[in-house]
Structures are given as C-alpha cells and as structure tokens.
A and B are shown apart, each in its own frame.
Chain A
C-alpha cells in the first residue's frame, strides 16, 4: 500500500515540475490607450512585462521618438511581483507601467527599446520590434471625445475633487470643459507608405515592394521623389537588393543613406486584411531629361524576416519585387516661353555675381564669378554669355556644378568664371545677367536677374594685339591656292564592296584559274577512264562495230566484233568456265570473214557475234 502511494506522489510532482522546466517564457508588450491617439491629446503606452519560469527581469526604458513624454515611469520590473500559477509550481510574473505621452502633430511615430533584460545576467530575454504609433489629426479622424475627466487638486494630480464641494478659486470648474486650443494643420509624413488602395505594387503574400512618386506628370527637369517601401508580414526585416530600379531618361540623386540597414523604421499597415510591416528602402530624387513616357524599372530584393514571435517564430527568406512605374514627363509650356530658355531650368533661381577685385591695371586679368542657385540639377543651365563690353576682353573660365541632397528638395549650384582683361583704362559696367526659368507649380516663366558689377581699370591702354600666330611657324597657315581646281574629287573605293572587289581581284583570279585547271584535269581523267572502259566492254565494242558497219567500214567492224568476242570470253574464263560451241562457231565465222575480207558477210557475222556475246555475258 505504501509503495503505490509514494509512486503516485512522485508522479504528481514530476507532472507539476516538468512543464515548468519546458515553458521558460519572457514576453514584453506595448499597448496604446486609446488605440487611435489624437495629436495634441495625451495618451498612454502600457508597457507590460510577462515572465514565466524565468529569472527576475526588468524592462528597458522606452525611446519614444518624437512623442512628448509627460510621464516616464521607466521600465517595469518583476522583482516585486510574483504570481503563482500553472500546475502548482509554475512561476509566472506579470507587471506593467504606463507612459503618458503626447504627439505634437499627426503622423507616424516609432517607439523603440521595449525589451526584457535579466536582472542577474543582463541577458536580453525578449524584445519587441520598433512599435509604430499612428497619430491622427485633431479634427475629422479623431476618435469620439472622452468625457471630461475631473480635475485634481494642485500638487495632487489624479486626486478627484470631492463631490458636493464648490470649485475652489483659481481651480478650473470640473463641469465646464477646458477651452479648445486651436490646433495647427500638419501635413502627413511623406515617407510613410500611402494609405488606401495598394498602388505601385503587386501584392505577394510573403512580401513585396511598392513604388510611389510625389508627382507622376512632372515637367522636364522638375524633381520627382521616388520612394520604395518593402512590405513584409513581420515587424521588420533584413534585405539585400537584387535589382535596383533603372532610371533611364532621368538624372537621379539618392536622398537616403541606409548604411547596412534595410529600412530606418517600420510602419504597420493593413493590406488585404493582413498586417504588414512597411519600411522605406529607397528614396531617390529623379529629374526627367526628356519629355514623354518614362519608365522606372522594377526593383527586387531578397528579404529575410521572422514570422511569429521571437521565441517560437520561424525565419523566412523570400524575394520581393515591384512592378515598373511609368511617369509622363511634360515639355515646358510653349506659351510664354522666353527666348534663351534652357529646358530643365526650374526656379526659383537666384543669381549672384562678384569680381575678385573691383579695379585693376590695364592688361591684368580679373575674375568675375557668376553663381546660380536653385532647385534641381543646374548642370544643364548654361549661363548665357555676357554682352561684349568695348575695352574688355572676355574669356570663359572654369565652370562647376554642385548639388545638395541634405533635404528632400535637391538644391543645385552652378558657378561660372569669366576672365576679364581690360585693354584700356576706364570704368566698365558689365551689364545685366538674365536667366529665364520656369515655375512648375504655375507653369509660368520668370526671369532671374543679376546686376553685374563695374570694373575699373587704370593705366595705359594696351597696344592692339599683333598677329600673334603669324610669328610662330608652327601655327602659321599656308596661303590659299591662287587657282583652285573645281574638279570634283575622284574617289573609287568609298564603299566596302568596291574596295573588297578591287583588293580581291588578283588573288581571286589566280584562285579561279587554279580551280579551273583542277576541274579541267579531273574532267579529262574521267573521260579517259570512260574511254578505257568502253574499249574493254564487249557491248560497247559491238555497238561501235555496228556503227562502223553502218558507216561502210567493214574491216573495222569485224576487228571490233572480234575484240568484243575476245573480251567476253576473257571475262567468262576469269570466272573459271569455258565457252560453248556457239561461241567457237561465231569466232570462226568472224575470223574467216576478216581473213577473207568478205564485206557481204559482215552483217550476219555481227549478229552471230552478238548472240555469242549475249550468251557469254549471260553465262558470266
């Protein structure tokens, strides 16, 4: 009886302890109260730390980004809270603190630093990805107003006023709401992914890239900002570009530097009923260099993210891509376009000028620096040439273009140096510099002007330049021809076929003649072989004999018939057989006619020879 009892106790103890060892969990949570905060109104961030069967931990303080922190309690700690739960010995501790914060303006804020740290070892037990807080504008999208909270006594915030007591002087009446403070209108964060329908992207469940531009129909030279966001079904991700967006037809300038990060911050967004983290991965300023349809090529990235929580989640890797994006670049309006306008010159444009010194001696070089400053890429803006000034030689000097990408609007600077050499004393006003530019917002043209300084030269006037080139034999020009020929130039080999034909003619002729000789030799050899074959063929010899007989040459016919018969017999004897009596008779008749010279018997002789040859060939 005792043994089964002790065994049952041991089993119960093991059953209680076993899960406690397996489930060591630490978790941190952030929660917004209310869930949709409004700009200008304080709200709470509840920071909860939950530790189960783990060593005592505390939460790290939160970094609230641009939120104004009204109450900062620090991180939660489990050292003072302990709740016994589970199967008897499972230790579970939960604690939370509340941050009271206020957003100065609507937009997206990121709260970071939520993590549980072991008090004993300093080990990070759990942590949250950056937590995105979307703050609504004070009007329209704001949630239903909360009922007015009773005001506390000074120095005792949160202490409710006693019911039935009149409001004290100097204290607000709890029944009257506080006066409305007018809230300034703020623009939404342009770097946040656009809300609403999913545009500029092709939805993929595992992750995708999305494009957006701030102006799909810019003028030539007008800046467009291209943003690309990576969407993943997780709080953040690591990424590696596979294909960068191609920007043919644009001059481009990157506006963000990530230095190994995939995205600086992640915003949670509901896409097709599922929550996705979206991080901006590219921000590029584009400047169309021509009008018409321009395409930003697709982009692709390999993405790695953690699906699920930090402990039990699985690491996933996928390739996210975007479709291409089409922009329609417009030509600068023809209406009102001033002469001398260089397409791509967009304003407002500032012009300045300065001389390195206002006066000089005649013959010295003074540098006039012209500086244009404006939006976009000014490398294309060739500053117009100065109006010639009598008594001053002008030469274009160095030119430098610079772009500043420290802000979203790329600023360009163009510096042009003009070298001035006064050739006589006097005061020389250098005139007015004018550069027309286009205001893309209104489509109208304006002109930037700069009054150029006056150059004062002293000293004696320079002698007119002698023919400097004529003194140097290297650069002295040969004189013109007195009686130039007007005959048109004769060029024969201006085209490749002509030249190739001429170059290849002699070797080609040799090769052709060699080929002809070889062909002729082969043909002759073949003819000889055919003749030899005909001479030894009984049928051919017999046919030749008949032709000779028809031509009246009986002797030749009989000779040929005799040779035909002899060739046939030779072929038969080569097979090891002997001729029959008919053959011998035909041979005798043929020989007799040949010796007798009997021309009348030639026909029958030939017939008998033919029969004999046929029988011999049949036998062979």
Chain B
C-alpha cells in the first residue's frame, strides 16, 4: 500500500514537472525579444512580448516594447493601444509619448496614401483633456500632498507670532490650495470621464446591433479612440468622438485603463 502511494506521488510530481517545463520563463522571453530586436525581427519581438503579456506581466516596459514592435510592423492600432495604456499609467513617460505620437503620424500617412485623407488624432474636449494631463495616481497623490501642505500652513500661521512668517505661511497656503484645487479637478475629470478603448485594426465596422449578422452602419478608424458605453456578449457599444455610435466586436478594441 505504501509503495502504491509513493508511486502515485511520484507520478504526480513527474506530471507537474512536465507541465512546468512547457512554460518559458519571462526573462528568457525578454532575452529572445532583445535578440530579435537586435537583428530587426520585429515579428519575433511581438511574439515574445505577447507571450509575456499573456502570462499576466503587463508592466509599462513590456507594453512600451510591444507597442514599439507593433509600430515597426505597421500594426498601428495595437501599437497605439499599448502606448496609450502606458501613457495613462506612468507619470513621466516621455519615450512613450513620443512613440505614441510617431505611431499616430505613421498611421495618418498610411491612410493619406491610401485614401487621400487622414486624421492624426481627435481632440476629446477640454474637460477630458484636463483629466489626461496627469495619471490618476499622480493627480490624487499631488492633491493629497497639497491638502496636507495647506493644513500645515494654516497650523503654522496660527502658531507663529512673527509677521514675516505669517505672510509666508499665508502665501504657502494659497499656492498649496491652488495646486490642490487643480489636482482635484484633474482627478475628478479623470474619474468622471467615460472608459475608453482604441480600435485595433483597420476596417472595423460599427454595427447597429450587437449581432454578427447586423448590417454595419459605418466604420471606425484604426487607432481611433472610442468611448465604451456598454457590453453585450462579445460586442461593446461604443461612441466615437465625432458622435457616431454602434457596436464593435470586443476583440477589435484595446481597452484603456482609467
């Protein structure tokens, strides 16, 4: 009996080892991607980073590298979606912003060559643009810090007896209050904005209803940012920045975080 139990354990251990042996470690995938990038094989870079992403490792660097590789392969919609995610999460993402702009320009040039007209980017409106000046974490953190500074300034102004110190404390309270107000506006705008998505591919149709056999009403541009307004099965109801609405397959959209 004991020998039988030991055999079962041994078998399970071997099976578990076998299963584990199939998965490539993330670091190895990153190395593969690095080597592929060095020889200009962007398709291999994409494959490696997509595996990393599928494993749940969606760090800013991974998304940045994946987006850059997508852009080299002229898969601009997916590239823009990756860059947008990082841009919305990271506070100082200068390289990401540059590549996002470059991907949009490349896409616009391609569209212009095909159809004679192109749109680089659509303005989402001043209130939404205000919310996108800072990531949510940064705006909330800045606001909290400024609020604490306001409180500290008030406390110091009450305690001190020197006139110069009182004036300084008052100025500090005013400045910190303005920063807190601005940060709160940014955070409120971001929190109140609708959830967004990016169209991943070219020729995506806007359908009247959430069905495969619905007659398409129009199209959305690759890389276009759309507002998510609901979901039904595999379809997401969207609204473009120019006011058109319809249903799009969820796999044709890259969802952006708040």
Contact = CB atoms under 8 A, between A and B. Distances in A.
Given A289-B208, A486-B26, A491-B136, A477 B89 contact: no
A499 B113 CA distance: 45
Interface string A483-502: 01111111111101001101
A547 B166 CA distance: 55
A344 B216 CA distance: 10
B208 to A, nearest CB: 5
B24 interface: no
Given A475-B105, A481-B64, A510-B151, A289 B140 contact: no
Contacts of B102: 469, 474-478
B79 to A, nearest CB: 9
Given A478-B68, A478-B95, A484-B65, A506 B148 contact: yes
A506 B68 contact: no
B215 A344 contact: yes
A344 B208 CA distance: 13
A397 B114 CA distance: 6
A445 to B, nearest CB: 14
Interface bracket on B: 35 or more
B248 interface: no
A484 B150 CA distance: 39
For chain A, give the interface size range: 35 or more
Contacts of A476: 102
Contacts of B61: 481, 484-486
Interface of B is mostly: helix
B258 A474 contact: no
B191 A477 contact: no
Contacts of A474: 101-102, 105
Given A489-B59, A494-B136, A506 B147 contact: yes
A140 B257 CA distance: 74
A42 interface: no
Contacts of B69: 480
Interface string B210-224: 011111100000000
B71 A488 contact: no
Contacts of A503: 140, 143-144, 147, 184, 187
Contacts of A398: 115-116
A508 to B, nearest CB: 10
A606 B237 CA distance: 88
Given A343-B213, A382-B203, A488-B57, A481 B105 contact: no
A32 interface: no
Nearest to A419: B114
B184 A344 contact: no
B89 to A, nearest CB: 5
Nearest to B36: A480
Given A251-B215, A486-B57, A475 B106 contact: yes
A500 B187 CA distance: 9
Contacts of B72: 477
Contacts of A419: 114
Contacts of A500: 191
Interface in B138-153: 140-141, 143-144, 147-148, 150-151
Given A251-B215, A477-B99, A481-B65, 17 more contacts: A332-B213, A343-B213, A419-B114, A477-B72, A478-B102, A479-B37, A480-B34, A480-B64, A484-B30, A484-B62, A486-B27, A486-B30, A488-B57, A489-B59, A493-B187, A503-B144, A507-B147
Interface of A: 220-221, 249, 251, 287, 289-291, 331-332, 343-344, 377, 379-380, 382, 395-398, 419, 469, 474-482, 484-494, 496, 499-500, 502-503, 505-507, 510
15 contacts: A290-B213, A377-B215, A395-B113, A474-B101, A477-B103, A484-B59, A486-B57, A489-B58, A489-B90, A491-B257, A493-B136, A502-B144, A503-B187, A505-B147, A510-B151
